[in-house]
Amino acid sequence: MAICTVYTTQLNPTCSSISTPSKPQHLGFHQNQVVFYKKTSNYKRSKSAARPSYLITCAAAGGDSQTVVIGLAADSGCGKSTFMRRLTSVFGGAAEPPKGGNPDSNTLISDTTTVICLDDYHSLDRTGRKEKGVTALDPRANDFDLMYDQVKALKDGVAVDKPIYNHVTGLLDPPELIKPPKILVIEGLHPMYDSRVRDLLDFSIYLDISNEVKFAWKIQRDMAERGHSLESIKASIEARKPDFDAYIDPQKQYADAVIEVLPTQLIPDDNEGKVLRVKLIMKEGVEFFSPVYLFDEGSTISWIPCGRKLTCSYPGIKFTYGPDSYYGHEVSVLEMDGQFDRLDELIYVESHLSNISTKFYGEVTQQMLKHSDFPGSNNGTGLFQTIVGLKIRDLYEQITTSKTQTPAQATKA
243 in Cβ contact with 227 (< 8 Å):
no
Most confident of 24-38, 93-107, 364-378: 364-378
Confidence label for 54 from pLDDT (cuts 50, 70 and 90): very low
User: Of 142, 279, 266, 243, nearest to 197 (Cα)?
Assistant: 142
Residue 55 confidence class, pLDDT cut points 50, 70, 90: very low
**pLDDT value at residue 403:** 79
Q: What is the pLDDT of residue 409?
A: 58
Q: What per-residue confidence (pLDDT) applies to 202?
A: 98
Q: What are phi and psi of 84, to 5 degrees?
A: -65, -40
- Hey, what amino acid is at 12? N
Tell me the pLDDT band of 354, cut-offs 50, 70 and 90: very high
Mean pLDDT of the chain: 83
Out of 14-28, 113-127, 275-289, 326-340, pick the least confident: 14-28
Within 10 angstroms of residue 186's Cβ, the number of other Cβ atoms is 27
212 falls in which pLDDT band (50, 70, 90)? confident
In this predicted structure, the answer to whether residue 317 has a pLDDT above a threshold of 80 is yes
When pLDDT is averaged across residues 267-293 and rounded to a whole number, the result is 91
Range with the poorest average pLDDT among 21-25, 88-92, 157-161, 171-175: 21-25
Q: Is the pLDDT of residue 34 over 70?
A: no
Distance set, CA 370 to CA 55, 80, 86, 382 (Å): 44, 18, 10, 12
Distance CA 319, CA 349 (A): 10
Name the least confident of 47-56, 190-199, 353-362: 47-56
| pLDDT score of 106 more than 80 | yes
> What is the distance in angstroms between the CA of the first residue and the CA of the last residue of the chain?
15
Range with top average pLDDT, 17-31, 32-46, 52-66: 52-66
Residue, of 40 and 151, whose pLDDT is higher: 151
Predicted pLDDT of residue 412? 55
Contacts of residue 160, defined as CB under 8 A and 6 or more positions apart, other chains included, come to: 20, 150, 153, 154, 177, 178
Segment 347-373 mean pLDDT: 96
Domain boundaries, the chain: 256-390
pLDDT band at 20 (very low <50, low <70, confident <90, very high): very low
Examine the pLDDT at 101 and tell me if it is beyond 60. yes
Do residues 186 and 72 touch, judged by C-beta distance below 8 A? yes
Taking the whole predicted model, whether its pTM rises above 0.85 is answered as no
